[in-house]
């Protein structure tokens, strides 16, 4: 059952991504030739108007085919006949829709479970926080210049920037802001180093508050994804730490087996939380300025907008082809690692 839920969840996120491209294309009068879920040979499909909607064999990935690579087609309704700004909006539509979906998921999660504010409930004995005069009731506002809206923001920064201690922390007390430097310390043998501040109870912010903190939660997942990519680029994490479709299905199955005995609501919230990670990750990853990704295509369109002249299509095509080939190699390596983890 967990595998089925994983495929359905992943498929829904992919469809929402492609829907962003599709709706923006329609908004700009661009003809969409095919809207597909999955990869490989077509299993079923039906023509509606000018678009062929279909489901393909492999339930990973999807496509909204608009003829963007057919640079010679300048007929009315073709992708390349439209202005550079129209084309940019269509390409950006997919990742933006992923982030919108993440916001919807986060609003639901926070509306049901609440969030943990950055108010200190306890200061641990002998900690750096105690030495710097932080007291219960103080509200943590920033760490090394990054705003803190929820307690998870603090935990994430410390986890992904462990080599940057001591941290410059801004906190608020009675309307006044103070800045201190906190150094994680080992307070008890066998424990990890701690800043020495403890979180309080969760709060439910209401409907409008859920909308606001839903944005903060999306921001958290964006930081999570960007920090993870930074750790990968700097060697703090390796290729073996990446997961592809096989690994994602395996993780979702583990989440299902853990949450299912706790009841339907716990299972729903667990899947929603993991879905938030997936859709935010997909949105951010696709915006990276790498060839073959939406972000890579946006780079060429931005250059075109600045130069007011299109980069020769054959050169752009070669760059995207090379990027696609490298992504396929990376996918094979990641999938191999995923399969090896199963044994």
What pLDDT score was predicted for residue 131? 93
Q: Which band of pLDDT confidence, cut at 50, 70 and 90, is reported for residue 33?
A: very high
For residues 143 and 1, the model is more confident at: 143
CATH number of 122-198: 2.30.42.10
pLDDT over 70 at 137, yes or no: yes
pLDDT digits (tens, 9 = 90+) for 256-285: 888 888 888 998 999 999 999 999 999 999
Q: Please spell the DSSP secondary structure of 133-172, one letter per residue.
A: T--TT-EEEEETTEE-SSHHHHHHHHHH-GGGPSEEEEEE
Q: Which of 18, 68, 142, 316 is catalytic?
A: 18
Q: Which band of pLDDT confidence, cut at 50, 70 and 90, is reported for residue 74?
A: confident
End-to-end CA distance of the chain: 20
pLDDT digits (tens, 9 = 90+) for 292-320: 889 999 999 999 999 988 888 778 888 88
The answer to whether 307 and 247 are in contact (CB under 8 A) is no
How far is residue 329's CA from residue 309's CA, in Å, rounded to a whole number? 33
**164 included as an active-site residue:** no
| DSSP 8-class letter at 194 | B
How far is residue 229's CA from residue 241's CA, in Å, rounded to a whole number? 11
Q: Which band of pLDDT confidence, cut at 50, 70 and 90, is reported for residue 245?
A: low
- In this structure, how many other beta carbons lie within 10 angstroms of the beta carbon of residue 35? 22
Q: Which band of pLDDT confidence, cut at 50, 70 and 90, is reported for residue 99?
A: very high
What proportion of the chain, given as a percentage, has pLDDT over 90?
A: 59
Average pLDDT, the chain: 89
């Amino acid at each position: 059952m967990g595998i089925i839920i994983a495929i359905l969840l992943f498929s829904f996120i992919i469809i929402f991504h492609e829907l962003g491209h599709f709706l923006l294309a329609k908004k700009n009068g661009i003809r969409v030739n095919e809207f597909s879920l999955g990869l490989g040979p077509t299993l079923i499909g039906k023509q509606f108007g000018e678009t062929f909607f279909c489901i393909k064999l492999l339930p990973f990935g999807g496509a909204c085919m608009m003829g963007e690579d057919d640079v010679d087609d300048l007929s009315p309704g073709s992708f390349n006949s439209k202005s550079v700004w129209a084309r940019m909006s269509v390409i950006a539509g997919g990742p933006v829709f992923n982030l919108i979906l993440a916001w919807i998921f986060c609003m639901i999660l926070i509306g049901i479970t609440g969030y943990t504010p950055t108010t200190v409930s306890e200061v641990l004995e002998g900690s750096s926080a105690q030495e710097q005069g932080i007291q219960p009731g103080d509200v943590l506002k920033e760490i090394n210049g990054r705003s803190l809206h929820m307690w998870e923001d603090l935990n994430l920064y410390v986890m992904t920037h462990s080599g940057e201690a001591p941290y410059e922390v801004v906190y608020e007390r009675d309307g006044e802001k103070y800045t201190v430097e906190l150094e994680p310390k080992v307070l008890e043998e066998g424990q990890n180093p701690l800043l020495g501040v403890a979180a309080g109870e969760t709060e439910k912010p209401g409907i409008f508050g859920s909308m606001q903190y839903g944005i903060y939660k999306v921001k958290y997942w964006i930081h999570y994804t960007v920090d993870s990519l930074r750790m990968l680029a700097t060697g703090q994490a390796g290729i073996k730490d990446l997961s592809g479709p096989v690994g994602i299905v395996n993780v979702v199955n583990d989440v299902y087996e853990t949450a299912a005995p706790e009841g339907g609501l716990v299972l729903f919230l667990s899947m929603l939380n993991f879905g938030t990670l997936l859709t935010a990750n997909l949105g951010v990853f696709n915006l990276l300025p790498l060839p073959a990704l939406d972000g890579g295509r946006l780079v060429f369109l931005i250059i075109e907008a600045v130069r007011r002249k299109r980069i020769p299509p054959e050169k752009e095509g070669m760059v995207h082809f090379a990027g696609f080939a490298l992504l396929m190699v990376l996918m094979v390596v990641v999938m191999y690692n995923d399969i090896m983890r199963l044994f």
